[in-house]
Amino acid sequence: MKFKCIWLGQSILKFEVPLDIFTTINQVYEKNFNKLHKANKQLIGKIENEHSLYYDGVDNDKMIKHNMLPRNVLEWFYNVYRVYLKANKVDKYQLKVTSIWVNEMKDNEYNPIHVHQGDLFTGLSSVMILTLPSHYGKEYSSEHNPMNGALQIIGNANGQFAKIDYQPELSVRDFYVFPYDIRHCVYPFNSTGQTRRTLAANCDVDYNPVKHRGAHD
């Protein structure tokens, strides 16, 4: 499975979603939209349409266990997370995908800076690009550095020459995977009348973090 690695003190891996997986996710979301669990109560996004496709975390007053995705789609998520951990030389772990949901942003909605967690504090966040608007509206200043609708990932590196943030040029079928504690946000856009649809997923990783803090050859 091919990927691109971006280093911000921790690894961000970028994958391309296989067309069959990508198509299935969009179809499940669109065909079942009126039956999906609203996810707003457990999310920080200032977004009206936030809907869950999968939840296997601890039952609470905000969400109960459910699954709208076929087995091959879930197994693909697990395989990607295994690739991430292998690339980062992490072994002897247990994985559990706890939640998968879709954010469909409209004009002037946004996702403030935040981190993720599942039932554990150690794990992997991920973002998949499902649809994008044809444009992001008017940039009222600094048009040479557009930010409307941007995903910004803020790393934990510091010191001279360190790269501290990453603003990827997004395309549909992109899939970004990074640790729970990496901060990220999505900026609003305006005057489009279109939506920006993304999927987010959390995967708990139960492992010994102290063992894996040392450098590797």
pLDDT band with cut points at 50, 70 and 90 for residue 190:
very high
Domain-by-domain residue ranges, the chain?
Answer: 4-206
Q: pLDDT tens across 148-170, in order?
A: 999 999 988 877 888 889 999 99
pLDDT above 70: residue 212: no
Q: 3-state DSSP call for residue 87?
A: helix
* CA–CA separation, 192 and 32 (whole Å): 25
Angle at 115 between CA 178 and CA 3, to 5 degrees: 10
Q: pLDDT tens across 89-146, in order?
A: 998 999 999 999 999 999 999 999 999 999 999 999 999 999 999 999 988 888 778 8
According to the CATH classification, is domain 4-206 in 2.60.120.620? yes
Q: pLDDT tens across 37-92, in order?
A: 999 988 999 999 999 999 998 877 778 899 999 999 999 999 999 999 999 999 89
Q: Is 127 exposed, middle or buried (0-12, 13-18, 19+ CB in 10 A)?
A: buried
pTM to 2 decimal places: 0.93
* CA–CA separation, 176 and 51 (whole Å): 20
